[in-house]
């Protein structure tokens, strides 16, 4: 008499979830899964068409002509139809899941559409000015700027150089301090750490003009006419960049698994080496992203440089002596001039500002995404390396 062996309940349940154990990559998906995907698309499309027809009929009968109102009413009616249909066919749980997915996608499309509209309008207005006599606009200064001067006679070169110097100095000042502060706040739970954390949170919500006024009262006003400079603007940008970068770095370091710290400490590494060679290299990509957030936050600031940099129509490569130009400050000064050419120059400088910020973002992300585990692997190899006198 032969006996049959039945699979365990867990194994049988796993086989039902995972499908056939020997499935090839090119095999077709189960018919039920294909029907689920296609039915969801059909349900969404039918609800969209039904709500569109209903809103069009209502607006036609009422004689209304409002594109924005039409779109809002159509979207609300579409969500209503879609939720009712999903609840009726699949139940409340599936309806909630689809409603949440629809909300996330709708918010992403609205935010992405607004960002694309702003960038597209800046490109439409500023690209013809910036590329009129390429690369003249990117290298020339604003000495010849005037009421009747053409846009091809001026350029944003001095403003580009000033922005690079000011933001670069602010980054050199703020990023190391921000990373060290973030590591201290994550690794320490002392009373001083709680005070520092509260100060960082308070500085994060401080208006940007406060930083400019602070540096103006401390540095610019005591030095009189010679107080405004690129260094003063960099100090104001540092005050603004420091809490934002610190807060973002704290959130990045918090997500590092505690097992990495425990493994390094178990191998005999002191705490300072664990932080320097395990924690910081592991969070390198996130720390670079935090620095990018600080740079993007400060590159377009106008109030700080208005009180500290002063602006200049000529090149000034020294951030210590003399007033220095800046891209946001140059835009601010051009838009208040009663000249059509000055307004066009402002659009050109705005295009340069957007282009520079996007370029720095892409370069930083490309650098931060390479060789994540290099430092960790080196540290582990060094920890496993036998010392002098020990048997390998």
Q: What mean pLDDT value characterizes the chain?
A: 80
- Asked whether the predicted pLDDT for residue 186 surpasses 60, the reply is yes
Peptide bond into 135 cis (omega under 30): yes
Residues 42-71 pLDDT 10s: 888 899 999 999 999 999 988 888 888 899
Contact between 233 and 166 under an 8 Å Cβ cutoff? The reply is yes
- Asked whether the predicted pLDDT for residue 190 surpasses 90, the reply is no
Question: Does the predicted TM-score (pTM) go above 0.85?
Answer: no
Residues 161, 322: Cα–Cα separation, whole Å: 14
Residues 214-263 pLDDT 10s: 889 988 888 877 888 889 999 999 998 999 999 989 988 888 887 887 88
Residues 108, 24: Cα–Cα separation, whole Å: 36
Q: What's the confidence (pLDDT) of residue 272?
A: 81
Q: What's the confidence (pLDDT) of residue 78?
A: 92
Neighbours of 174 (CB within 10 A): 26
- Asked whether the predicted pLDDT for residue 17 surpasses 60, the reply is no
- Asked whether the predicted pLDDT for residue 387 surpasses 50, the reply is no
* Closest to 286 in 3D by CA, of 243, 261, 250, 239: 250
Residues 82-97 pLDDT 10s: 999 988 988 889 889 9
* Closest to 293 in 3D by CA, of 359, 248, 350: 248
Q: What's the confidence (pLDDT) of residue 277?
A: 82
Intra-chain end-to-end CA distance of the chain, in Å: 59
* Closest to 75 in 3D by CA, of 105, 39, 120, 30: 105
Residues 307, 171: Cα–Cα separation, whole Å: 20
- Write the DSSP symbol of residue 216: I
Position 381 confidence tier, pLDDT thresholds 50, 70, 90: low
- Asked whether the predicted pLDDT for residue 14 surpasses 70, the reply is no
CATH class for the region spanning 138-382? mainly alpha
> Tokens 């969209």 — which residue?
48
Q: Which of 170-179, 266-275, 277-286, 336-345 has the highest mean pLDDT?
A: 170-179
Residues 55, 39: Cα–Cα separation, whole Å: 24
Contact between 81 and 89 under an 8 Å Cβ cutoff? The reply is no
Query: Residue 270: CA atoms inside 13 Å, Cβ hemisphere, count?
Result: 2
Bridge partner list, 324: 310
Residues 258-308 pLDDT 10s: 788 788 888 888 888 888 888 888 888 888 888 888 888 888 888 888 888
- Write the DSSP symbol of residue 227: G
* Closest to 235 in 3D by CA, of 216, 251, 262, 260: 216
- Asked whether the predicted pLDDT for residue 374 surpasses 90, the reply is no
What average pLDDT does this structure show over 22-30? 45
What average pLDDT does this structure show over 136-164? 83
The values of phi and psi at residue 189, to 5°, are -120, 30
Torsion of CA 39, 40, 41, 46, to 10 degrees: 80
> Tokens 């390198």 — which residue?
284
Residues 152, 81: Cα–Cα separation, whole Å: 56
Per-residue tokens: 350: 């705005």
CA distances from 256 to 73, 144, 186, 259 (A): 45, 54, 11, 9
Q: What's the confidence (pLDDT) of residue 351?
A: 93
- Asked whether the predicted pLDDT for residue 34 surpasses 50, the reply is no
- Asked whether the predicted pLDDT for residue 172 surpasses 90, the reply is yes
Q: What's the confidence (pLDDT) of residue 27?
A: 44
What average pLDDT does this structure show over 327-349? 88
Q: What's the confidence (pLDDT) of residue 367?
A: 65
- Domain extent listing, the chain: 38-118, 138-382
pLDDT above 90 covers a percentage of the chain that reads 22
Q: What's the confidence (pLDDT) of residue 1?
A: 46
Alpha helices in the chain (DSSP H): 9-18, 31-62, 67-90, 92-130, 136-139, 157-187, 191-204, 208-215, 221-223, 230-254, 258-266, 271-274, 280-282, 284-299, 303-308, 327-335, 340-368, 374-384
Position 30 confidence tier, pLDDT thresholds 50, 70, 90: very low
CA distances from 165 to 22, 94, 316, 319 (A): 61, 54, 10, 7
Residues 371, 285: Cα–Cα separation, whole Å: 10
Q: What's the confidence (pLDDT) of residue 370?
A: 57
Q: What's the confidence (pLDDT) of residue 389?
A: 47
Residues 280, 287: Cα–Cα separation, whole Å: 8
Residues 234, 167: Cα–Cα separation, whole Å: 6
Position 21 confidence tier, pLDDT thresholds 50, 70, 90: very low
Position 36 confidence tier, pLDDT thresholds 50, 70, 90: very low
């Amino acid at each position: 008499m032969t006996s049959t062996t039945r699979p365990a309940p867990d194994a049988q349940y796993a086989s039902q979830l995972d499908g056939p154990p020997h499935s090839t990559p090119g095999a077709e998906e189960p018919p039920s899964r294909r029907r689920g995907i296609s039915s969801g698309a059909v349900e969404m499309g039918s609800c969209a068409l039904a709500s569109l027809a209903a809103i069009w009929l209502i607006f036609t009968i009422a004689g209304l002509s409002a594109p924005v109102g039409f779109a809002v009413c159509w979207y609300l009616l579409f969500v209503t139809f879609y939720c009712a249909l999903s609840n009726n066919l699949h139940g409340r749980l599936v309806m909630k899941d689809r409603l949440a997915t629809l909300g996330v996608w709708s918010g992403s499309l609205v935010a992405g559409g607004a960002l694309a509209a702003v960038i597209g309008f800046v490109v439409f207005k500023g690209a013809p000015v910036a590329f009129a006599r390429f690369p003249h606009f990117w290298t020339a200064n604003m000495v010849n700027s005037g009421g009747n001067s053409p846009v091809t006679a001026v350029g944003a070169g001095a403003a580009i150089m000033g922005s690079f110097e000011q933001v670069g100095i602010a980054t050199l000042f703020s990023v190391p301090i921000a990373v060290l502060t973030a590591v201290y706040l994550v690794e320490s739970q002392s009373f001083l750490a709680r005070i520092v954390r509260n100060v960082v949170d308070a500085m994060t919500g401080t208006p940007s003009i406060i930083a400019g006024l602070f540096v103006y009262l401390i540095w610019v006003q005591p030095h009189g006419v010679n107080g405004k400079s690129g260094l003063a603007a960099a100090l104001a940008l540092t005050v603004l960049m420091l809490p934002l970068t610190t807060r973002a770095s704290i959130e990045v370091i918090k997500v590092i698994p505690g097992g990495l710290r425990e493994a390094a400490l178990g191998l005999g590494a002191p705490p300072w080496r664990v932080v320097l060679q395990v924690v910081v290299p592991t969070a390198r990509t996130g720390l670079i992203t935090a620095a990018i957030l600080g740079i993007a936050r400060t590159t377009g600031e106008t109030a700080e440089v208005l009180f500290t940099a002063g602006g200049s129509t000529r090149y000034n490569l020294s951030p210590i002596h003399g007033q220095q130009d800046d891209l946001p400050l140059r835009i601010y000064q051009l838009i208040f001039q009663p000249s059509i050419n000055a307004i066009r120059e402002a659009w050109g400088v705005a295009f340069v500002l957007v282009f520079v910020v996007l370029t720095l973002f892409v370069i930083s992300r490309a650098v931060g995404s390479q060789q994540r585990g290099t430092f960790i692997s080196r540290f582990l190899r060094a920890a496993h390396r036998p010392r002098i006198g020990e048997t390998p």
